[in-house]
Amino acid sequence: MSSPRVGVLALQGDTREHLAALREAGVDAIPVRRRDELESVDGLVIPGGESTTMSHLLRDLDLLEPLRARLADGLPAYGACAGMILLASEILDAGAGGREAVPLCAIDMTVRRNAFGRQVDSFEGDLQFVGLDDPVHAVFIRAPWVERTGADVQVLAEAAGHTVAVRQGPMLATAFHPEMTGDCRIHRMFVDIVKGQV
């Protein structure tokens, strides 16, 4: 695959920043809001935002089951923060009252929402990241962490003793926001996954 098309789920969150990072990584990047756009992409980024709101919008726009089906068929996906939560097979503290975050079951992991605390507990730090030579500067905003990983899930980074980045086959997820730092290495890694190069 020479020049794949990678979508960014454009319901909420840092859509523009992810599109810019993907274009910097050398791919055709488009916002995805409709089923035909979802069907046209070779990979998908699910950005940060509010996972319960994103789940509600996926249902309202009739994208939830088509997205689950594409992921089950092997569509490569990268989830950042709320995107990590949605890619999980199990979500702890998922919400209530019809506003729950809905797992897409793309990565065999259990994720706890807002695990590092509220907005005021947001923080930044440098992390060692498997596959990258130099540390990644990570921005955590109301971030989740991974409490359990399945046997086929590779842990890529940890912060404060908790798993904050994983990969399973064509699926990649981080609890932090690389699109906010200008460092495109994780997006380039995802593009290489989409191309089948790593």
Query: Binding-site residues, please?
Result: 49-51, 113, 141-142
Cβ-based neighbours of 112, under 8 Å, separated by 6 or more? 91, 92, 93, 144, 145, 147
Coil, strand, or helix at residue 86? helix
Among 126, 122, 88, 94, CA closest to 108: 88
Angle between helices 15-24 and 185-194 (to 10 degrees): 70
Which residues are catalytically annotated?
Answer: 81, 177, 179
φ, ψ for residue 72 (rounded to 5)?
A: -65, -30
User: What number of CA atoms fall less than 13 Å from residue 58's CA on the CB side?
Assistant: 22
Other Cβ atoms within 10 Å of 124 Cβ, number:
13
Distance separating alpha carbons of residues 111 and 113, to the nearest angstrom: 6
Query: Binding-site residues for L-glutamine, please?
Result: 49-51, 113, 141-142
